[in-house]
A and B are shown apart, each in its own frame.
Chain A
Amino acid sequence: MKPHYEVAWNDIVSGLLQWQVWTRLGWQEVKRRYRRTVLGPFWATFSIGMFIGGMSFIWAPLFKTDVSSYLPFLSAGLVTWAFATALITEGCVTYTAGSGIITQLNFPYTVLNFMVVWRNIIVFFHNVLIVVIVILVLRVRISWETLLLIPGILIVAVNGAWMTLLFGMLGTRFRDIPPLIGNLIQILVFITPIFWLPNQLGEGHKVVTMNYMYHLIEVMRAPMLGTAPAKLSYAVTIMGAMLGWLLAFEVYARFRRRIPYWL
Chain B
Amino acid sequence: MAFISVDNVTIDFPIYGAAHHSLRHTLLARTGGLIRREGMRHKRVVVRALDNISFKLQDGDRLGLIGHNGAGKSTLLKALAGVYWPDSGSIRIEGRVSPLFTSAPGLDADDSGFENIKTCGMFLGMSAEEIEYKAPEIAAFSELGEYLELPVRTYSTGMVTRLCFAIATAIDPDILLLDEGLAAGDARFAARAESRMQKFIQRTRILVLASHSDALIRSMCNRAVLMDTGQILAFGSIDEILDRYHRQNAEQAAVLA
Q: Which residues of A contact B (CB under 8 A)?
A: 18, 20-21, 24-25, 28, 32, 35, 100-107, 175, 257, 260-262
Partner of B123, one of A32, A101, A261: A101
Are A261 and B84 in touch, CB under 8 angstroms?
Answer: yes
Does the CB pair B119–A104 fall under 8 Å?
no
Question: Binary interface profile of B, 82-103, with partner A (CB < 8 Å = 1, else 0)?
Answer: 1111000000000001010111
A103 with B110: CB separation less than 8 A: no
Task: Output the residue of A18, A103, A257 with the most chain B CB within 10 A.
Answer: A103
B111 at the interface (CB under 8 A from A): yes
Establish whether residues B85 and A105, one from each chain, have CB atoms under 8 Å apart when the complex forms: no
Judging by beta carbons under 8 Å apart, are A261 and B14 in contact? yes
Q: Do A105 and B99 form a contact, CB below 8 Å, given A24-B122, A28-B119, A100-B105? A: yes
Q: Does B106 contact A (CB under 8 A)?
A: yes
Question: Do A260 and B84 touch across chains, with their CB atoms under 8 A apart?
Answer: yes
Asked whether, in the complex, the Cβ of A106 is within 8 Å of the Cβ of B111, the reply is: no
Check A102–B111 contact: CB distance below 8 A: no
Shortest CB-to-CB span from A173 to chain B, Å, is 8
Q: Does B133 contact A (CB under 8 A)?
A: no
Measured in the bound complex, the distance between the Cα atoms of B123 and A24 in whole Å is 11
Ranked nearest first, the 3 interchain pairs of A and B with the lowest CB-CB distance are A106-B82, A257-B85, A105-B105
A105 touches B123 (CB 8 A): yes
Report chain B residues within 8 Å CB of A25. 119
CB-CB < 8 A to B110: which residues of A?
A: 32, 35
Q: A28-B111, A262-B16 are in contact. List 6 more A-B contacts (CB 8 A).
A: A21-B122, A32-B108, A104-B101, A104-B105, A105-B106, A106-B97
Q: How far is the CA of A102 from the CA of B106 in the complex (A)?
A: 9
Distance in angstroms between the alpha carbons of A223 and B207 in the assembled complex: 58
Partner of A107, one of B78, B115, B123, B128: B123
In angstroms, Cα B110 to Cα A25, docked, is: 13
Check B13 for interface membership: any CB of A closer than 8 A.
yes
Residue B118 CB within 8 A of the other chain: yes
Q: How far is the CB of B31 from chain A (nearest CB, A)?
A: 20
| B83 with A260: CB separation less than 8 A | yes
Flag if A106 contacts B115 (CB, 8 Å): no
Q: Does B81 contact A (CB under 8 A)?
A: yes
Question: Is A32 in contact with B111, judged by CB distance below 8 angstroms?
Answer: yes
- Would you give the shortest CB distance from A6 to chain B, in whole angstroms? 14
Chain A hits for B83, CB < 8 A: 102-106, 260
Q: Which chain B positions have C-beta within 8 A of A257?
A: 85
- The answer to whether A106 and B81 have CB atoms under 8 Å apart is yes
Q: Which of B118-174 contact A (CB under 8 A)?
A: 118-119, 122-124, 127-128
In the complex, 8 of the A-B residue pairs with CB atoms within 8 angstroms, ordered by the A residue number, are A24-B118, A24-B119, A28-B108, A28-B111, A104-B105, A106-B83, A260-B83, A261-B13
* Shortest Cβ distance from residue A16 to the other chain B in the assembled complex, whole angstroms: 15
Question: How distant is A253 from chain B, measured CB to nearest CB, in Å?
Answer: 13
Chain B residues with CB under 8 Å of A261's CB are 13-14, 84
Complex CA distance for A175 and B17, rounded to whole angstroms:
10
Q: Which residues of B contact A262 (CB under 8 A)?
A: 16
- Smallest CB gap from A98: residue in B: B106
Which chain B positions have C-beta within 8 A of A105?
81, 83, 99, 105-106, 123-124
B-chain residues with CB within 8 Å of residue A102 when the two chains form the complex: 83
Point out the residues of chain B lying under 8 angstroms from A100, CB to CB.
103, 105-107
Report the minimum CB–CB distance from B139 to chain A (whole Å): 19
A103 to B99, CA, bound (A): 11
A103 to B106, CA, bound (A): 11
Residues of B within 8 A of A107 (CB): 123
Report the Cα distance A24→B131, complex, angstroms: 14
Report the Cα distance A35→B103, complex, angstroms.
Answer: 24
Q: Of residues B17, B82, B123, which shows the largest number of chain A Cβ atoms within 10 Å of its Cβ?
A: B123
| Cβ–Cβ contact A20 & B128, under 8 A | yes
Chain A residues lying within 8 Å of B14, measured Cβ to Cβ, are 261
